[in-house]
């Protein structure tokens, strides 16, 4: 076993690849991951500034709370929900459910909503 007491990859029978970056992820999935990551990062930042939660809340609970406190608008909430519903299947390996229109919508809308969230102090 490795120094930490956990088994190493070779001990588990996993061979290391020569190129560690050979994991196949489409550009659209990479984009949708970055959208969801940045939205969650900003929502957690905003939430931590205004709420003293002992533990992180799930997004589904956090966003309505931010709307209730008028930190984000109902329209922003709707856009975030839509982007989440587009990004989630891709992130969970179910990208064949995505349509070209959904990905195009995310590409048009996501940068703006992320910038809006970044401006909330």
Domain containing 95 equals 24-118
pLDDT at 18: 56
In-domain check, residue 19 = no
DSSP string computed for 56-72: PPPHHHHHHHHHHTTSS
Asked, for residue 83, whether it belongs to a domain, the answer is: yes
- The reply to whether 6 falls in a domain is no
Q: 75 lies in a domain?
A: yes
Residue 68 lies in a domain: yes
Q: 9 lies in a domain?
A: no
Q: Per the domain annotation, does 4 fall within a domain?
A: no
pLDDT band at residue 5 using 50, 70 and 90 as cut-offs: low
What is the per-residue pLDDT across 56-111, written as a single tens digit (0 to 9) for each?
Answer: 778 888 899 999 999 999 999 999 999 999 999 998 988 888 899 999 999 999 99
The helix or strand, by DSSP H or E, that contains position 116, with its residue range, turns out to be helix 100-118
> Which of 74, 106, 77, 76 is closest to 90 using CA atoms?
106
Q: What is the pLDDT of residue 52?
A: 79
H or E element in which residue 39 lies: helix 27-50
Is a pLDDT exceeding 90 seen at residue 32? yes
The three-state secondary structure class of 17 is: coil
Number of domains into which the chain is organized: 1
Residue at 74 is within a domain: yes
Both structure tokens of 99? 């349509």
Neighbouring CB atoms inside 10 A of 33's CB total: 14
């Amino acid at each position: 076993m490795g120094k930490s007491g956990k088994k190493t990859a070779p001990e588990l029978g996993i061979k290391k690849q020569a190129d560690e970056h050979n994991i196949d992820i489409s550009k659209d999935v990479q984009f949708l991951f970055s959208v969801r990551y940045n939205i969650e990062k900003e929502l957690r930042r905003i939430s931590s500034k205004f709420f003293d939660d002992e533990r992180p809340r799930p997004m589904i609970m956090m966003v309505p709370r931010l709307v209730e406190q008028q930190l984000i608008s109902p329209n922003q909430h709707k856009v975030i929900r839509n982007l989440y519903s587009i990004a989630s299947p891709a992130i969970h390996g179910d990208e064949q459910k995505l349509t070209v229109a959904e990905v195009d919508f995310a590409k048009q809308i996501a940068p703006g909503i992320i910038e809006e969230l970044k401006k909330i102090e």
